[in-house]
A = this chain, B = another copy of it.
Amino acid sequence: MQKPSIPKGTRDFGPEQMSKRLFIFDTIRQTFQRYGFQPLETPAMENLSVLMGKYGEEGDQLLFKILNSGDFAGGLTEADWQAGAKKLTQKIAEKGLRYDLTVPFARYVVMNRHALPMPFKRYQMQPVWRADRPQKGRYREFYQCDADVVGTDSLLCEAEIVLMVHEVLRNLGIQDFTLKINNRKILTGIAEIIGMPGGPTGRQEGVLAVAIDKLDKIGQEKVLDELRERGFSEDAINRLQPIFGFSGEAAEMLQSLKSWLSSSDTAQKGIAELEEVWQLVNQYGLTDSQLELDVTLARGLSYYTGAIFEVKANGVQIGSISGGGRYDNLTGAFGQPGLSGVGISFGVDRIYDVMEELNLFPAGSQQSTQVLIVHFDAEARAVGLPLLSRLRQEGVTAEAYPDITKLKKQLDYANQKNIPYVVLIGSEEVQTGLLSVKNMVSGEQQKQTADELISLFSPSQL
């Protein structure tokens, strides 16, 4: 007999995990909506013509491809078979699983551009799939929760993201976090200043961004070693030194940056953008702001062109729980250039781990049954069922043990499901109309009428 298993890198989420995940999803969704973002869902499958070439060569390989249905092998020649996996894939697979939520969003915007309000604010919370090597904390199926605005370059959108990150995390109960912000134009300016400009290919600037991004993990010396290996001169590396010395208040750092990067127009523009974001955030009256400027924040080779965001929870050894930024050409690959946008993405798996480690899930997020009705016989059940209906009408999550069986078995079920209250109905209860209510935590037991019981359990009381 076959022993069932699930694909590596994928997970089942049982009741306890799901209740906690739903709490995270609901909280993020509500906050996104309160900020005027509207829901979008796209199909799990996209045409490979939409996905390929959007995530670099490595990304193309990490796409899960779906075998064409029917006789996919019928029209193929021997030459097709022998052309290797990559060329053969084009002949036998037209579709793939979505790799992120950004490319499907760009496709949606282009396909529906005449019907959408502009600027268009959408959020999307769906799983994505990557054929990465699974390891601790890295899965082949995982959820992304993204909110983006496209169709405006107003920096008010950056300020809104700062506000929204604060609200999402506070609503989740994650009070102690750092929201780092930088601006890609500052990195561009730094690359210019040190004599390693990006140029039309952005290559050297990209090398700088990838290396700087590892500062937290590998330290300053190893970052510099990497730059040397990738062809940065000692002169360039010396000129780069100030980047490691920025700290303190954002306003002071911005002043120092202005003088260091005074010869780069691009850097000055990035600095001005950051100043405006700070000013707008202050106008909103954000209290207890956890926004910090970090000039070494780069987010790798990403397509960001303006603001860059990254969020970490303090006090836990878990990577960033959220990140995002501004991009200037979201839909260019689909024939609609010039749409600027800015977005933020929350990683549910990491947020889950943070909340678990810091014990932040509220007790109510378990969404378990509150009352189990236990019957001793069919006559007792006839008394219990109308009570069950009334409890549910009051909004109480309630069940009856389905079988008429030993008391112990029914109470074991209550314990296993963490049901806090049990109503016991036997012949005495049927005769007197007084029902026994047992608190499964304290063991306390008391007799009550059905009416008393209903008001005891109505949601405002629990």
Contacts and interface: CB of A to CB of B under 8 A. Distances in A.
A180 interface: no
B67 A74 contact: no
Which secondary structure characterizes the binding site on chain A?
Answer: mixed
Interface in A360-400: 367-369, 381-382, 385-386, 388-389, 392, 395-400
B85 A70 contact: yes
Contacts of A382: 283
A38 B368 contact: yes
Interface stretch (A43-51, A260-268, A448-456): A43-51
Interface in A66-102: 66-67, 69-74, 76, 78, 81, 84-85, 88-89, 92-95, 97
A399 B35 contact: yes
Given A117-B413, A131-B69, A152-B403, A45 B81 contact: no
B36 A398 contact: yes
A2 B53 CA distance: 12
Contact of A129 (B34, B45, B163): B45
B73 A402 contact: no
Contacts of A46: 6-7
Contact of A33 (B1, B72, B121, B397): B397
B2 A334 contact: yes
Contacts of A61: 69-70
Nearest to A413: B117
A66 B385 CA distance: 48
A72 B43 contact: no
Contacts of A78: 81
A329 interface: no
A201 interface: no
Given A117-B416, A335-B3, A392 B34 contact: yes
Interface string A37-65: 01111111111011000000000011011
A156 interface: yes
A222 interface: no
A22 interface: yes
Contact of A389 (B40, B163, B400): B163
Contacts of A40: 12-15, 18
Given A388-B284, A397-B34, A2 B73 contact: no
B66 A41 contact: no
A157 interface: yes
A67 B33 CA distance: 38
A283 to B, nearest CB: 4
Given A12-B41, A85-B71, A402-B152, A285 B7 contact: no
A108 to B, nearest CB: 5
A213 interface: no
B64 A66 contact: yes
A149 interface: yes
The 6 tightest CB contacts between A and B, nearest first, are A36-B399, A15-B38, A10-B43, A154-B402, A18-B39, A117-B416
Interface of A: 1-7, 10-15, 18-19, 21-22, 33-36, 38-47, 49-50, 61-62, 64-67, 69-74, 76, 78, 81, 84-85, 88-89, 92-95, 97, 107-108, 110-112, 117-119, 121-122, 127, 129, 131, 140-141, 149, 152, 154, 156-157, 160, 163, 167, 280, 283-286, 333-335, 367-369, 381-382, 385-386, 388-389, 392, 395-400, 402-403, 413, 416-417
28 contacts: A1-B335, A2-B49, A4-B50, A4-B334, A5-B49, A5-B111, A6-B47, A6-B50, A6-B107, A12-B111, A18-B38, A18-B41, A34-B395, A34-B398, A44-B97, A44-B129, A66-B67, A69-B131, A73-B88, A117-B413, A119-B403, A152-B403, A154-B403, A156-B400, A156-B402, A283-B385, A284-B385, A285-B389
